[in-house]
C-alpha cells in the first residue's frame, strides 16, 4: 500500500502544470545571518547583491533593507548593484540582514538563428569579450578546445549549439562550491557544479569572438531556493541568448524537473548579477569577487573568524 501511494504521488507531481512556463510574481525575502566566531571584537563589511531589471525580469518594488544599508553602489565593470553595511560584532554575536522586494519573472524562449556570422558584429559588448581570472580565454588549451568544438562553422547560432553540446559531453555535474570554478578548473576537474559548466561555455564563446557572460542568481518558487548560475551569449544582432548547460544535461539524464536549455529558461529563477570577477568599491580598496549572488564579507579577524548563512524565501503574489 505504501509503495502504491508513493507511486501515485509521483505521478500526481509529474502531471502538475509547470509553473515556470508562465510569468510569475514573487515576493522575496533575502536573509543573511552573520556570526562572529572569533574570541575578539570583529569589524566587518557586508555586501549583499541587489536585483535589477533584466530581460524577462522586472523588479516591481524597490528593495527594503533591515537594518538600513549604509549605501547602495554599482560596480564599475558590469553595472551590478550591491548594498553595503559596516558592523562591529562582539565575540559570539550574530546579526541578521534582510532584503525584501517584489519581482516579476517571465520565461524566455528564443529561436537560435543560423544566418548571423562571426564577422557580423557591429555593436559587440566588449566588457564581455575580455579574459578574467575565471575565464582564461587566451589560454592555449581553451583556444584549441573552442576551435575543436566549433568545427570550423562561422554562423554564431551553429557555434553556440556546438559549444553547448561540447560542454555537456565534456563535463559531469557535481562537487558544488560556494564560489565559481574557472574554465581551466572545469576542464581539469570534469565533475563541477553549474558555475563550472558556465565558465567553460563562456570562455569557449569568447575565445571564438562571441561575447558571453555568466548570470548569477537563485532558484525561485520552490520550498528551498538554492543558488544557481547560467550563461548568456550575444548574437551579432545584439540580442542575448540564454543557455543553461548544467540543467539541460541533468534533465536529459532524468535527474531534475527544472528547466533550462540553449535559448530557453523558465520563470523559476531570479537574476542578481551578470559577469564574473566583479569589482566592488569598498571605500579604501576595490575587492574583486568571482560572482555576486551570495553575500561577500570582509572581516578584520580574517576569513575564518565568522560564519555566514544565506536564505532566499519566495511567496507567489
What percentage of the chain has pLDDT greater than the value 90?
A: 91
Same domain as 112, residue 91:
no
Range list of β-strands (E), the chain: 24-36, 42-50, 57-59, 64-66, 71-74, 81-89, 94-105, 108-109, 172-173, 191-192, 212-219, 227-234, 240-243, 260-261, 264-265, 269-274, 278-282, 285-289, 296-299, 306-316
Number of separate domains in the chain: 2
Q: Within a domain: residue 8?
A: no
Name the band, by pLDDT with cuts 50, 70 and 90, for residue 178.
confident
Same domain as 201, residue 63:
no
- On the question of pLDDT at 7 being above 60, the answer is no
User: Closest by alpha carbon to 217, among 49, 11, 37?
Assistant: 49
Please, what is the average pLDDT of the chain?
Answer: 94
Q: What per-residue confidence (pLDDT) applies to 51? A: 97
Same domain as 123, residue 92:
no
Q: What is the mean pLDDT of residues 42-71?
A: 97
Per the model's pLDDT, the better-predicted residue between 61 and 1 turns out to be 61
- On the question of pLDDT at 5 being above 60, the answer is no
Same domain as 303, residue 230:
no
- On the question of pLDDT at 279 being above 60, the answer is yes
Q: What is the CATH number of the domain that holds 246?
A: 3.10.620.30
Q: Within a domain: residue 10?
A: no
Q: Is 215 exposed, middle or buried (0-12, 13-18, 19+ CB in 10 A)?
A: buried
User: Which range of residues forms the domain containing residue 235?
Assistant: 108-273
Out of 3-7, 54-58, 279-283, least confident range: 3-7
User: Locate cell 550575444: which residue?
Assistant: 234
Out of 143-147, 209-213, 281-285, 306-310, least confident range: 281-285
Same domain as 260, residue 135:
yes
Q: Within a domain: residue 7?
A: no
Amino acid at each position: 500500500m505504501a509503495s502504491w501511494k508513493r507511486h501515485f504521488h509521483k505521478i500526481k507531481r509529474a502531471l502538475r502544470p509547470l509553473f515556470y512556463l508562465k510569468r510569475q510574481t514573487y515576493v522575496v525575502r533575502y536573509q543573511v545571518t552573520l556570526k562572529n566566531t572569533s574570541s575578539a571584537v570583529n569589524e566587518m563589511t557586508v555586501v549583499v547583491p541587489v536585483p535589477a531589471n533584466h530581460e524577462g525580469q522586472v523588479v516591481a518594488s524597490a528593495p527594503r533593507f533591515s537594518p538600513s544599508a549604509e549605501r547602495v553602489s554599482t560596480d564599475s565593470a558590469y553595472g551590478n548593484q550591491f548594498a553595503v553595511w559596516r558592523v562591529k560584532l562582539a565575540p559570539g554575536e550574530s546579526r541578521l540582514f534582510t532584503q525584501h522586494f517584489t519581482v516579476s519573472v517571465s520565461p524566455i524562449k528564443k529561436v537560435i538563428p543560423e544566418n548571423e556570422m562571426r564577422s557580423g558584429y557591429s555593436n559587440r559588448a566588449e566588457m564581455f569579450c575580455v579574459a578574467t581570472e575565471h575565464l582564461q580565454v587566451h589560454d592555449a588549451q581553451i583556444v584549441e578546445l573552442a576551435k575543436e568544438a566549433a568545427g570550423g562553422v562561422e554562423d554564431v547560432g551553429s557555434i553556440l549549439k556546438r559549444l553547448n553540446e561540447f560542454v555537456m559531453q565534456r563535463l559531469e555535474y557535481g562537487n558544488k562550491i560556494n564560489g565559481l570554478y574557472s574554465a581551466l578548473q572545469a576542464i581539469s576537474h570534469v565533475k563541477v557544479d553549474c558555475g563550472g559548466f558556465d565558465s567553460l561555455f563562456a570562455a569557449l564563446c569568447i575565445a571564438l569572438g562571441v561575447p558571453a557572460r555568466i548570470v548569477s542568481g537563485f532558484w525561485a518558487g520552490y520550498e528551498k531556493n538554492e543558488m544557481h548560475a547560467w550563461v548568456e551569449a550575444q548574437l551579432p544582432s545584439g540580442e542575448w541568448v540564454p543557455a543553461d548547460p548544467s540543467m539541460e544535461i541533468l534533465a536529459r539524464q532524468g535527474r531534475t524537473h527544472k528547466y533550462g536549455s540553449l535559448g530557453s529558461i523558465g520563470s523559476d529563477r531570479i537574476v542578481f548579477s551578470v559577469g564574473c570577477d566583479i569589482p566592488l568599491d569598498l571605500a579604501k580598496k576595490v575587492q574583486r569577487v568571482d560572482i555576486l549572488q551570495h553575500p561577500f564579507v570582509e572581516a578584520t579577524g580574517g576569513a575564518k573568524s565568522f560564519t555566514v548563512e544565506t536564505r532566499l524565501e519566495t511567496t507567489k503574489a
